[in-house]
Amino acid sequence: MNEPAPSERYRQGMATRRAVLGDAHVDRAGAAATEFDRPFQELITEAAWGHVWSRPGLTKRERSIVTIALLAALGQDDEVAMHVRATANTGATREDVCEALLHVAIYAGVPAANHAIKIAKQAFEQMDAEKAA
């Protein structure tokens, strides 16, 4: 059976996803996809990356900061770590992440921010170790 060609929004989403998360991450996600979760991968590529992250209203840096704060407030630990690592590609600084997590403390709660700070510290330490190697 022939698969339909990806939409323009999907192609834009894949380009943005690769620019933010890096080729290695996106390639791993694609290789790990199964028939069960492939529709989900297609959905997030088109909707999150093609519709939202590709919009011109905010920079990738600004979207990165907002995303980290939202994920921290929601307690989405794996996603927080992934998006902290993505700051290497978005231009968001460690100071930006710190400021975002201070907002999380006030608006979503100290425990959520405290846990996200721990995750961010670990991600930055891993990034530093990889850079030094």
Domain 58-133 sits in CATH at 1.20.1290.10
Predicted TM-score (pTM) above 0.85: yes
Residue 3: predicted pLDDT:
65
The rounded distance, in Å, linking the Cα atoms of 32 and 4 is: 21
Residue 65: predicted pLDDT:
98
Burial-class residue 54 by CB neighbours within 10 Å (0-12, 13-18, 19+). Answer: middle
The rounded distance, in Å, linking the Cα atoms of 63 and 42 is: 21
Given a cut of 50, the residues of the chain with pLDDT beneath it are none
Residue 6: predicted pLDDT:
85
Kindly report each contact of residues 112-120 with a partner whose C-beta sits within 8 Å and lies 24 or more positions away, as own/partner. 112/72, 112/73, 112/75, 113/72, 115/72, 115/75, 115/77, 116/68, 116/71, 116/72, 116/77, 116/80, 119/77, 119/80, 119/81, 119/84, 120/68, 120/80, 120/81, 120/84
Reduced to 3 states, what is the DSSP secondary structure of residue 33?
coil
Sequence ranges of the chain with CATH classification 1.20.1290.10: 58-133
- Structure tokens, 74: 């929601």
